[in-house]
């Protein structure tokens, strides 16, 4: 049955518009369950109707985000703390999706009860869909240990198994990545269950409740971002940052331990310590990436004058290095971010794929923050300050880029798919940082124009280089970088065609042909990576539409 309007648009009663249209000050047609505006914008999950004084799910999420942000401020400024943060379950008044009626009734053993696992063969199948690509969605635990404990023949919640919230969220991702209709029919059920279990994960008695609860929050953040549900994604990012900082993950191996009390017991071995180090930087990367993508301030700060808030944790290593015990027990580190930005030479060089990604995310967010501070006609004083900050971040980006092997060498020498995917995103993000930085001044600087164009082509080079490697899934953040690069390349093609028309030239120049061929190859490559991600698929379709309109 097709959706029916609750009333004619011309006489829609006051308060009858959906919450999203009210917020965006758009004319709502009042169609239930999804209005025309939200449907046309490709944001059906944002369409929500409330009655009277009822608070919307969006309002509850925003209030919880504000409370979590306040909690993070307390954790980063412990001497000014006022412990008065109380969270409300954002999904307690309805389903996590704006379309509550879509919840599918349990119809098989896969979704039989909220406390049982699926049958062993199905559980194995779901983990097989998820684990090979898990690192792209923020999975920081040791995959082999996780899989072994997940498939142990013990009931859900047993201390030897992953915490229920994490287990269910892993199953959710397995269902989502499977593209199997018989499994996808249960996706909503598992999402609801994952949200319920994650909301109470820290109050249970599981021995790994903090780290596993954190892992579940990170996976849920990526899940919502991948599905274009940004507010819910932001909520889980903020929750993850709060857990990470309160657990003291920013102070692992710190040379300057502070008064902050970690809420987790010491790591039992080098692998467990490595998981925690990776957790710290995974949350950091998640926070910085999506702050840059959504053009909002990050949750994590690293001020030079506040020891409690600084990240002293060493840069992450590859998991195999922790397994081999290659991290000396006597190493202590401090001011990891500040030393990287200042170019201070340290033994902790941070050249693993995860470290390179974290550095790239930091710089991308720094550039985005700098771009927000720019405005035409700024005073001489403000321009001098801006120019100094511009030169500083430009120098750090150049230093990082020059320290890395060329892309062609990476393609020849890196065989591990997980490492290659991580480096592909990191290299793309470095180019994305250069592009965004020099886009600020490109109209008045030939040098910035050239650097911006070169960086945009660099993004395309990465995706065309990895196309043949069967990597299948990439971090959902990649689509935002592709959009930035495509806008520059399409604008350049448009300028070339306009110039050609002004000279009445019938045939494209060699430069135009080369740019067109390279862009179309890149477009074909990114299309292949977009099929399993709602957000990336939407972004790629917009790129295709813009290019087709040239």
pLDDT of residue 87 exceeding 50, the answer is: no
Does 90 have pLDDT greater than 80?
no
User: Do residues 280 and 247 touch, judged by C-beta distance below 8 A?
Assistant: no
Mean predicted confidence (pLDDT) in 160-175: 98
- The answer to whether position 407 is within a domain reads yes
Per cent of the chain over pLDDT 70 is: 86
Structural domain including 40 reads: 4-46
Instruction: Say if 89 falls within a structural domain.
Output: no
User: How much is the CA Rg of the chain, to the nearest whole Å?
Assistant: 24
Burial class of residue 425 (count of CB atoms within 10 Å of its CB; 0-12, 13-18, 19+): buried
Give 42's pLDDT tier (boundaries 50, 70, 90).
Answer: low
Assess contact for 29 and 35: CB atoms under 8 A.
yes
Per-residue pLDDT tens over the stretch 431-449: 999 999 999 999 889 999 9
| Number of C-beta neighbours around residue 349 at 10 A | 11
End-to-end C-alpha distance for the chain, whole angstroms: 39
Asked if 436 and 487 count as a contact pair (C-beta separation under 8 A), the reply is no
pLDDT-based confidence at residue 88 (cuts at 50, 70, 90): very low
What pLDDT does 32 receive? 83
Separation CA 52–CA 66 (nearest Å): 24
**pLDDT, tens only, 362-388:** 999 999 999 999 998 899 999 999 999
Give the pLDDT band of residue 18 (cuts 50, 70, 90).
confident
Please give the DSSP secondary-structure letter assigned to residue 54. P
The predicted-structure confidence for 104-141, as pLDDT tens digits, reads as follows: 333 455 655 445 789 999 999 999 999 999 999 999 99
| Average confidence (pLDDT) over 152-158 | 92
Please tell me the distance from the alpha carbon of residue 135 to that of residue 416, in angstroms, as a whole number: 12
Q: Report if residue 282 sits inside a domain.
A: no
Smallest CA-to-CA distance from 45 within 34, 37, 53 is with 34
| 5, containing H or E segment | strand 4-5
| pLDDT greater than 50 at residue 291 | yes
The CATH code of the domain that includes 12 is 4.10.240
Domain assignment present for 299 = no
Average pLDDT, the chain: 88
Q: What angle do CA 324, 327, 333 make, to 5 degrees?
A: 165
Q: pLDDT above 90 covers what percent of the chain?
A: 70
Q: How many CA atoms lie within 13 A of 392 on its CB side?
A: 13
Q: Is 184 part of a structural domain of the chain?
A: no
Residue 392 lies in a domain: yes
* 158 within domain boundaries: no
Tell me how many domains the chain contains.
Answer: 2
Residue 517 within any structural domain of the chain: yes
Taking alpha carbons only, the member of 286, 293, 135 closest to residue 228 is: 293
Q: pLDDT tens digits, residue range 235-264?
A: 999 999 999 999 999 999 999 876 554 568
């Amino acid at each position: 049955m097709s959706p029916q309007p609750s009333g004619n648009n011309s006489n829609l009663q006051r308060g009858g518009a959906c919450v999203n249209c009210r917020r965006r000050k758009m004319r709502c047609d009042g169609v239930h369950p999804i209005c025309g505006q939200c449907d046309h914008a490709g944001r059906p999950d944002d369409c929500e109707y409330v009655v009277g004084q009822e608070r919307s799910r969006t309002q509850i999420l925003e209030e919880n985000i504000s409370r979590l942000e306040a909690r993070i401020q307390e954790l980063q400024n412990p001497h000014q703390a006022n412990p008065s943060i109380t969270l409300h379950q954002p999904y307690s008044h309805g389903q996590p999706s704006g379309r509550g009626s879509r919840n599918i009734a349990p119809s098989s053993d896969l979704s039989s009860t909220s406390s049982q696992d699926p049958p062993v063969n199905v559980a194995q199948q779901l983990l097989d869909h998820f684990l090979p690509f898990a690192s792209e969605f923020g999975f920081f635990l040791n995959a082999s240990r996780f899989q072994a404990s997940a498939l142990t023949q013990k009931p859900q919640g047993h201390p030897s198994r992953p915490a229920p919230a994490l287990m269910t969220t892993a199953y959710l991702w397995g269902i989502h990545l499977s593209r199997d209709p018989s499994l996808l029919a249960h996706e909503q059920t598992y999402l609801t269950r994952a949200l319920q279990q994650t909301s109470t994960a820290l109050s249970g008695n599981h021995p790994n409740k903090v780290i596993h609860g954190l892992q579940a929050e990170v996976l849920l953040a990526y899940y919502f971002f991948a599905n274009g549900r940004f507010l819910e994604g932001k909520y889980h990012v903020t929750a993850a940052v709060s857990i990470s900082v309160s657990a003291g993950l920013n102070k692992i191996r710190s040379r300057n331990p502070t008064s902050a009390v970690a809420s987790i017991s010491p790591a039992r071995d080098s692998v467990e310590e490595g998981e925690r180090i990776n957790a710290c930087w995974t949350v950091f990367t998640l926070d910085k990436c999506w702050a840059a993508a959504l053009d909002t301030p990050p949750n994590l700060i690293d001020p030079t004058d506040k020891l409690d808030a600084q990240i002293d944790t060493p840069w992450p290593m590859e998991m195999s290095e922790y397994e081999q015990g290659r991290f000396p027990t006597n190493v202590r580190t401090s001011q990891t971010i500040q030393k990287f930005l200042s170019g201070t030479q340290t033994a902790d060089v941070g050249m693993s794929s995860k470290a390179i990604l974290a550095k790239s995310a930091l710089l991308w967010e720094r550039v985005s923050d700098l771009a927000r501070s720019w405005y035409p006609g700024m005073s001489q004083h403000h321009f001098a300050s801006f120019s100094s900050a511009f030169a500083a971040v430009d120098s750090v980006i150049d230093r990082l880029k020059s320290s890395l092997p060329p892309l062609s060498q990476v393609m020849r020498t890196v065989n591990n798919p997980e490492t290659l995917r991580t480096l592909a995103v990191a290299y793309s993000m470095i180019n994305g940082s250069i592009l965004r930085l020099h886009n600020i001044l490109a109209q008045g600087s030939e040098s910035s124009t050239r650097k911006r164009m070169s960086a945009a082509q660099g993004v395309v080079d990465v995706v065309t280089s990895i196309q043949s490697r069967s990597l299948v899934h990439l971090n959902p953040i990649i689509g935002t970088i592709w959009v930035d690069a495509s806008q520059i390349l399409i604008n350049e093609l448009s300028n070339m065609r306009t110039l050609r028309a002004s000279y009445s030239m019938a045939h494209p120049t060699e430069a135009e042909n080369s740019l067109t061929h390279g862009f179309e190859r890149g477009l074909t490559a990114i299309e292949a990576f977009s099929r399993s991600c709602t957000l990336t698929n939407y972004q790629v379709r917009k790129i295709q539409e813009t290019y087709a309109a040239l």
